[in-house]
Amino acid sequence: MKKIYQYTMVLLAGVLGACSSMSVSDPYAENLPAGFDATTYMKLHPELRTVQIKDYVAAKNTMFKDSVKKAGGDYDALKAADDALFTADVASLAAICADPFIGGYDATTCAGIAANATLLAEMAAFNFTSTAADYAALTSIPVDEVAISQQFVVFGQTHGWAYRLCTEAESQNPARKDLPIHNQQGARAESTEGFVADTGLYCRDAAGVDRLIQ
């Protein structure tokens, strides 16, 4: 799974928790670049969807726990039984692990998940306590496209995140890693100086290289 800086996760937790309609008067919508598509942006940065899914599962599990306890049920026993089923369903575990929007690992790594205690513990964050059909439930969680779009405006754009695929001609443009802003942001992250916002817009080419849109 891709590692994300702690400060990024703090920001995403706030932005991706938002849920509202994108209207013409919405300041976020007005600041999106031409051709921005939330689905495309999410595919380029699947960790955004992963955060949404984790938050959704956590919220649902909390609600289920509260409902069971209010009804006088034995939540701990229910959870223990569900955890056992979750761990025993190796096929579903491997699918959850390899899904680019959920676990994000490669299929080879996920094939051996049953013997990988660190990996099993990580996948536990995607376990719905209230159902045994976890993978189906995970893939049916609605996508909050508004939150995905807002993340680009408040974070992704200033940090140089590519928001769409490059055209054939754009694939010859300068790579972001070769631009001064790349080193400037890296250096500032290691110092006490202020953050330098990236004012450019970027696309991603077929080789996975982010390039400046000119």
- pLDDT, tens only, 62-98: 999 999 999 999 999 999 999 999 999 999 999 999 9
Which is more confident, 179 or 22? 179
Phi, psi for residue 165 in degrees, rounded to 5 = -80, 150
- pTM value? 0.84
Task: Please enumerate in sequence order all residues whose Cβ is within 8 A of that of 168, keeping only pairs 6 or more positions apart, or say none.
Answer: none
104-122 tens-digit pLDDT: 999 999 999 999 999 999 9
* Mean predicted lDDT score pLDDT of the chain: 88
The letter for the amino acid at 68 is V
User: Which CA distances in Å does 94 have to 58, 106, 113, 120, 128?
Assistant: 20, 10, 7, 10, 16
| C-alpha count within 13 angstroms, C-beta hemisphere, residue 25 | 0
